[in-house]
Amino acid sequence: MKQIILDEIKKYGGKISFAKYMELCLYHETFGYYTKEQEKIGKSGDYVTSSVLSSIFAEMIAEYYVYLVIEHHIQPAFCEIGAGNGAFFKEFKEWLKKISEEIYEKSMFIAIEKSPHHQLQFKKATQYSVQVKRELPNKFSGMIFSNEWLDALPVHVVTRKEGQLFEVFITSQEEQLKEVLIPLENQRIEKIIENYQTPILEGHRIELSLKMLDELYRVNLAVDHGILMTIDYGYEHRDLYDSSLKDGSLRGYKNHQMITNLLDEPFSHDITSHILIDLYKKKARTFRVE
C-alpha cells in the first residue's frame, strides 16, 4: 500500500506536503484508515474518546442543548460533525428524551460523517433514527457540536532552522518514505503565521491545519443561525514557547499504543495532532459563528 504514497510523490515531482500525506493515510478512498472497515474507537479499536468513555459526557451536552433552546431560543436542531461510531449521539438522544421529552420530540437530528465505515456504525448505533450526511445542509439553524473532529484533519508542518521557516514535506529514497525540509513557500501558511503572530521558535515544529480553516468557513457558510461547540485537544499560542512541545504534537495510535514514526506503516493507524486553539477562535470570530 505504500506504493500509493510513492506514486503520489512521483506525481507531484518528488515530494508531497505532510498534509497531503495525512489526507491519503486517513481518507484515501479505498485504503484510508478512516475508510477501511475496522474498529477504530473503543476498547477493541485503536483509541478512545469521551464519547465512548462515559455517558456523562452526552448528558452534559444534552443539558446544555436544552438550556440553549429554552434560554437562547435557538432552533431545536442538533448537528454533530465528525460523529464517529454514533456512541455519543445515541447517548445524547437518550439523555435528551429524559431531560425534556418536549424538546426531544421537536428536535431535528443530523450527523455529518465522512468515513463510510463510521457512517454504517453510526446508523446501527442510532437505529437509523438520525440522518447521516457528508455535508452540513445549507441554512442550518441550531446547535453544531463536534468532539475530536478537528484533531483528525490533515495538517501542514512548519519548523524554524537558523531563523528561516521551512515546511516539512514527504519524499522517498530507495522506496522508503522520509522527511525533507523545504523553505516555506505556501503563501496561505505564511499569511496565517504573520497575521495571527503564530510563535515558531528556533528548532520547534508546529502543525497548522488549513483544512480546519476551510471546514470552519464551510460551517459558517451553511449556518443560518446557531451555536458552534467544539471540543478538541489544542494549544494556545503561549504553549508554543514550551520546550517540551518543541517537536509538535503529531502522533498515531494503534491498539492503544502511541506511534511516533508516522512514515513506517501508512494507512495502518490513526494520525492526530493538537489544533491551534487561538487560530481557531480568532478565525471563528471573523466569521459569524461563536
For residue 243, the minimal CB distance to ligand SAM (Å) is 28
Picking from 75, 26, 66, the residue whose alpha carbon sits closest to that of residue 252 is 26
Footprint of ligand SAM on 211-270 (CB under 6 A): 215
Indicate whether 88 belongs to the interface with ligand SAM (CB under 6 A). yes
Helix/strand/coil for 161 = strand
Q: Which is nearer to ligand SAM, 107 or 115 (CB)?
A: 115
- Contacts with 205 (C-beta within 8 Å, 6 or more apart), sequence order: 157, 158, 159, 168, 246, 247, 248
Residue 132 to residue 124: CA distance in whole angstroms: 11
Q: Which of 5, 19, 66, 112 binds ligand SAM (CB under 6 A)?
A: 112
C-alpha cell at 111: 450527523
Task: With residue 142 as reference, give the H or E element that holds it.
Answer: strand 140-147
Indicate whether 115 belongs to the interface with ligand SAM (CB under 6 A). yes
Q: Which is nearer to ligand SAM, 107 or 147 (CB)?
A: 147
Footprint of ligand SAM on 43-82 (CB under 6 A): 49, 51, 81-82
Picking from 210, 201, 211, the residue whose alpha carbon sits closest to that of residue 165 is 201
Give the pairing of strands 156-161 and 251-254: unpaired
Q: Which of 16, 18, 28, 34 binds ligand SAM (CB under 6 A)?
A: 34
Helix/strand/coil for 118 = helix
C-alpha cell at 247: 517537536
Q: Which is nearer to ligand SAM, 37 or 194 (CB)?
A: 37
Footprint of ligand SAM on 117-136 (CB under 6 A): 118
Task: With residue 263 as reference, give the H or E element that holds it.
Answer: none
Footprint of ligand SAM on 135-154 (CB under 6 A): 147-149, 152-153
For residue 51, the minimal CB distance to ligand SAM (Å) is 4
Q: Which is nearer to ligand SAM, 133 or 288 (CB)?
A: 133
Indicate whether 96 belongs to the interface with ligand SAM (CB under 6 A). no
Sign of CA dihedral 224, 114, 210, 241: positive
For residue 29, the minimal CB distance to ligand SAM (Å) is 13
Q: Which is nearer to ligand SAM, 113 or 278 (CB)?
A: 113
Q: Which is nearer to ligand SAM, 79 or 193 (CB)?
A: 79
For residue 21, the minimal CB distance to ligand SAM (Å) is 16
- Contacts with 268 (C-beta within 8 Å, 6 or more apart), sequence order: 33, 254
For residue 69, the minimal CB distance to ligand SAM (Å) is 22
Query: Which residue of the chain is nearest ligand SAM when measured via CB?
Result: 84
Helices (H), 134-202: 187-195
Fill in the amino acid letter for 286: T
For residue 38, the minimal CB distance to ligand SAM (Å) is 13
* Contact by Cβ (8 Å): 278, 208: no
Binding site for ligand SAM (CB under 6 A): 34, 41, 49, 51, 81-84, 88, 112-115, 118, 147-149, 152-153, 215
